[in-house]
Structure 1
Amino acid sequence: YWLSSALPLASVIPPVVLAVVLRQTWDRRQATDIARSEAALRQFQPPLLADRIARDPGFLREPVQQTVAILFVDLSGFTRLSEQAGLTRTREFLKAFHTLIENEVTAHDGLVISFMGDGAMIAFGIPDPHADDAGHALSTAWALLKDMREWATGEEVSIGHPDLRVGVHFG
Structure 2
Amino acid sequence: MFPDVERRKTALPAFFRAYVDLALERGRVWLLDDALAAAVTFPSDLGLSDGDQRELDQQVRAACGQDARTAMAVMDMLDEHHPHSEPHQYLLFITVRPEHQRRGYGGALLKQMTEHWDQINQPGYLEATCPSNRALYQRHGFSDVGAPLSASGSPELYPMWRAGR
Question: Structure 2 length as normaliser, TM-score?
Answer: 0.33
Where relative contact order (Cα < 8 A, 6+ residues apart) is larger, the structure is 1
Question: Structure 1 length as normaliser, TM-score?
Answer: 0.32
